């Protein structure tokens, strides 16, 4: 609910700051329900100038370009960055001079590279980056781009009249210069709240601790920003555009900015997609007219700017990014990546030997591709350090002796197949390690925190079982898995000198590894809630001192629904990398046991005790 006073504050400021009376008015090319339209519609009328109504459908971009070709000397044009890119494609360089006195760009992140066309061919046009959510009347912070600017995101500048903008930490304390925090907005433009949504209003409109006015509030934007030494604000992205993939927290806007800095890229958006249970980064790229699509070239360019874990594992080339009617990127319309082999610098070469065929199948499965050539580069296909560990483990299970280090040093299947030796079989010669073992640094840190519920600090997975699975098979597979991995047999005990850990012998403490539960009698409408409640209670049954530190529950949901398998392991014994190893081993063990075969897991690599000793 935007107040009349807030709207008037913006309009009075806008008419003066954008010198609306000096031009002929403005075109309206966006839907009237879009807050961007406020800048196009009301300021010209307040200043006694005209408004030209254009269509707001898919042809709006072409209609706007056609209107500008007549050099109408508009006072301003309010557009999104996507509109700006579109005009650069639709208009010729000699058509934009005199089209408008100011371009006011808002709605999404503006990059300096997008301004180059207008700087070069319409130097008299002011280029203004306007930031502001709907809840604070369209615009509350502006920055006028200078003639020479570095590449990358354009700052959002300084607050407009009667507006305060803060960058605060989690405790609502102002952050230091150049430190990131959440953007909060106060002043005349702050709306009253959301109509008939008191909970949402309370969450977003919070008391203003910096104002002496009674009842003053701040709007919590959910945007991340930082302040330069001169007070200028920089926009860093959305809180909800932060994703966590394979244990790493990634800001999607940072990956997008690195992509846009590549000379062949015109537009780019990065999304996190979950496919086959694995979340991965996918980059959607629109290239400049003269550029040829080359996944390998873009991957190498990103490797010079980003750490390994931030490089998208898939690239999708589009002629242009899909837009909503409001001119923003339509993320819901971004297509799923093609599972076929990406366009690389080298042509596809099929496997020639059994070892190459095995590795090609493992790579294709891990990377989510239909096929992989023997000369394809692992990292250009989207591989990373965690996938290299998974592939090395699966290769050992398939009879090929490889290490993750070898995958890092030899990036193609042809090179790896020449190095791979026969994997030694897992068997009784791989004696389980038992007895005391030193705490790793992260385990020491954990116990130093003196958490009130240390047993509950676990990681869990809920799996849907899509084929018949006898509980005795699952229990046998779990016992074999615990015997195989020393860390799953850890027990912890406090002592005068601090906490200690030791490894049990295989078979010792296996009681209670698997429980079988049924929710079939629970009413169907309450079954999901009961499942969540059961899962929460089950995770509390782990014990660092008495054990187990890892266990599973096989849950019958009834009603024709497939059973679920809940796995819970204390975080002192598992991490994001080892989950992949455990799941592969559990699948193999269940398959072998269900066929009546002896369970034989992949050969061991470095034992937990040796690893802990090195750390």
pLDDT at position 233 over 70: yes
DSSP string over 128-185: EEEE--GGG-S-SEEEEPPSS--SSBPP-BEE-TTEEEEEE-TTSPBPPTT--EEEEE
Using alpha carbons, list the distances in angstroms from residue 262 to 30, 318, 561: 31, 16, 49
Band of residue 605 on the pLDDT scale cut at 50, 70, 90: low
Give the predicted TM-score (pTM) of the model.
Answer: 0.53
Band of residue 263 on the pLDDT scale cut at 50, 70, 90: confident
Give the CATH number of domain 435-614: 3.30.559.10
At 481, which helix (H) or strand (E)?
A: helix 471-484
CATH topology of domain 4-236: Rossmann fold (3.40.50)
CATH topology of domain 357-422: 1.10.1200
pLDDT tens-digit series, residues 538-593: 988 999 999 899 999 999 998 888 999 999 999 998 887 788 788 888 988 898 88
pLDDT at position 427 over 80: no
pLDDT (0 to 100) of residue 191 = 94
Among 314-318, 348-352, 550-554, 587-591, top mean pLDDT goes to 550-554
Contacts of 51 (CB under 8 A, 6+ apart): 25, 26, 27, 28, 40, 41, 44, 45
pLDDT (0 to 100) of residue 377 = 81
Alpha-carbon span 357 to 372, nearest angstrom: 10
Asked whether the beta carbons of 191 and 220 are under 8 A apart, the reply is no
pLDDT tens-digit series, residues 193-232: 998 888 889 989 999 999 888 889 999 998 999 999 889 9
At 121, which helix (H) or strand (E)?
A: helix 116-121
DSSP-based three-state secondary structure for 270: strand
State the average pLDDT for the chain: 86
Q: Measured at the alpha carbon of residue 563, what is the angle toward residues 565 and 455, in degrees to the nearest 5?
A: 25
Alpha-carbon span 342 to 314, nearest angstrom: 8
**What are the domain boundaries of the chain?**
4-236, 246-333, 357-422, 435-614
Band of residue 248 on the pLDDT scale cut at 50, 70, 90: low
pLDDT tens-digit series, residues 151-190: 778 999 999 999 999 999 988 999 999 898 999 999 999 9
Which CATH superfamily hosts domain 246-333? ANL, C-terminal domain (3.30.300.30)
Alpha-carbon span 421 to 400, nearest angstrom: 6
pLDDT at position 50 over 90: yes
pLDDT (0 to 100) of residue 442 = 87
Q: Is 614 left (phi over 0), alpha (psi -120 to 50) or beta?
A: alpha
Band of residue 273 on the pLDDT scale cut at 50, 70, 90: confident
Q: What one-character DSSP code corresponds to residue 267?
A: E
């Amino acid at each position: 609910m935007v107040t009349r006073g807030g709207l008037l504050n913006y309009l009075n400021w806008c008419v003066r700051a954008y010198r609306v009376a000096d031009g002929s008015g403005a075109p309206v090319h966006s839907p009237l329900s879009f807050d961007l339209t406020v800048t196009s519609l009301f300021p010209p009328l307040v200043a006694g100038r005209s408004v030209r109504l254009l269509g707001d459908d898919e042809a709006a971009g072409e209609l706007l370009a056609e209107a500008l070709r007549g050099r109408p000397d508009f006072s301003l044009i309010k557009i999104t960055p996507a509109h700006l890119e579109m005009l650069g494609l639709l208009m010729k360089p000699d058509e934009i001079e005199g089209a408008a006195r100011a371009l006011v760009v808002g709605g999404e992140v503006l990059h300096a590279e997008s301004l180059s066309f207008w700087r070069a061919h319409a130097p008299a046009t002011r280029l203004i980056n306007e930031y502001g959510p709907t809840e604070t009347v369209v615009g509350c912070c502006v920055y006028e781009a200078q003639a020479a600017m570095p590449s990358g995101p354009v700052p959002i500048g300084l607050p407009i009249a009667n507006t305060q903008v803060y960058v605060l930490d989690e405790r609502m304390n102002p952050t230091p210069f150049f430190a990131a925090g959440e953007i909060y907005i106060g002043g005349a433009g702050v709306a009253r709240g959301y109509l008939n949504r008191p909970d949402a209003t309370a969450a977003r409109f919070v008391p203003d601790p910096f104002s002496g006015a009674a009842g003053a509030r701040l709007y919590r934007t959910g945007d991340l920003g930082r302040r330069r030494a001169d007070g200028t604000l920089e926009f860093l992205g959305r809180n909800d555009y932060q994703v966590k993939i394979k244990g790493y927290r990634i800001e999607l806007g940072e990956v997008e900015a690195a992509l846009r800095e590549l000379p062949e890229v015109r537009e780019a958006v990065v999304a996190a997609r979950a496919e086959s249970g694995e979340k991965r980064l996918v980059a959607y790229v629109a290239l400049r007219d003269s550029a040829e699509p080359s996944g390998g070239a873009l991957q190498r360019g990103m490797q010079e700017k980003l750490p390994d874990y931030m490089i998208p594992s898939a690239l999708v080339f589009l002629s242009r990014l899909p837009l909503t009617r409001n001119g923003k990127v339509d993320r819901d319309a971004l297509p799923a990546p093609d599972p076929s082999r990406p366009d690389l610098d080298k042509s596809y070469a099929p496997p020639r030997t059994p070892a190459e065929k095995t590795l090609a199948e493992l790579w294709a499965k891990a990377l989510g591709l239909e096929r992989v050539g023997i000369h394809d580069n692992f990292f250009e296909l989207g591989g990373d350090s965690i996938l290299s560990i998974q592939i090395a483990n699966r290769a050992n299970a398939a009879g090929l002796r490889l290490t993750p280090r070898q995958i890092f040093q030899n990036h193609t299947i042809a090179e790896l197949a020449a190095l791979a030796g026969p994997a030694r079989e897992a068997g009784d010669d791989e004696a389980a390690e038992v007895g005391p073992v030193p705490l790793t640094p992260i385990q020491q840190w954990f116990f130093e925190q003196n958490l009130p519920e240390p047993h509950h600090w676990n990681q869990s997975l809920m799996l849907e079982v899509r084929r018949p699975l006898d509980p005795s098979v699952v229990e046998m597979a779990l016992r074999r898995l615990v015997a195989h991995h020393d860390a799953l047999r850890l027990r912890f005990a406090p002592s005068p000198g601090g906490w200690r850990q030791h490894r049990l012998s295989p078979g010792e403490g296996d009681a209670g590894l698997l429980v079988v539960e049924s929710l079939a009698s629970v009413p169907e409408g309450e079954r999901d809630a009961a499942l969540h409640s059961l899962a929460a209670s089950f995770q509390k049954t782990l014990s660092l001192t008495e054990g187990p530190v890892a266990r599973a529950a096989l849950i019958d949901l009834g009603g024709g629904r497939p059973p679920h398998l809940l796995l819970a392991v204390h975080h002192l014994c598992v991490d994001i990398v080892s989950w992949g190893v455990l799941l592969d081993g559990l699948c193999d063990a269940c398959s072998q046991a269900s066929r009546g075969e002896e369970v034989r897991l992949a050969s061991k690599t470095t034992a937990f005790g040796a690893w802990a000793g090195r750390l």
